[in-house]
Amino acid sequence: MEQLINTFGIDWKILLVQIANFTILMGILWYLLYRPLVNLIESRRAQIIKGVADAERADVALRDADSKKADIIAQASLEAEKIVASAREAGKAKETALLHEGQSKYERLLVEATMKGEEIKRGALEESKEEIARLIVLGVEKTLKSSTQ
């Protein structure tokens, strides 16, 4: 083996120093580069996992918000239908009340007009009777004057 080492020109002292240098260099590179790089990769991995989890939570929250929105819209639609139905019923009730009020005013005015008509008729009959009585008296006077002359 020594012949092989001499043939290739390997010096044990230089080889040991190179092994020590390589080990020291590997330790320094591991400490200064490899560990920070692994830590950086791990922190990135944690951030990515957290980002994916946040995105999933946001997706679930969005679906919940969409379903709540649909429920709120459905409730608002039902409430609007109830309000419209209530307004229609109130309108019909008001219409009925106005019709009854109009009908009662019509009937009251009709009764008042009938009474005034009867009163005017009675007044006209009274005037006619008085006029007829006066004409009869005038006629009788004329007849008496003509028969006395």
pLDDT at 132 over 70: yes
Mean pLDDT (whole number) for 121-137:
90
Model pLDDT, residue 79: 96
Residue 85 domain boundaries: 2-148
Using one digit for the tens of pLDDT, what is the confidence trace for 53-91?
999 999 999 999 999 999 999 999 999 999 999 999 999
Q: pTM higher than 0.75 for the full model?
A: no
Number of structural domains (the chain) is 1
Please name the amino acid found at residue 135: L
Mean pLDDT of the chain, nearest integer: 91
Full 3-state SS string of 70-105 = HHHHHHHHHHHHHHHHHHHHHHHHHHHHHHHHHHHH
Query: For residue 12, what are the contacts with CB-CB under 8 A and spacing of at least 6?
Result: 5
pLDDT classification of 1: cutoffs 50, 70, 90: low
Q: Residue type for 61, please?
A: A
End-to-end CA distance of the chain: 201
Lowest average pLDDT, out of 36-45, 79-88, 122-131, goes to 122-131
Query: Helix, strand, or coil here: 11?
Result: coil
Chain centroid to CA 19? 80
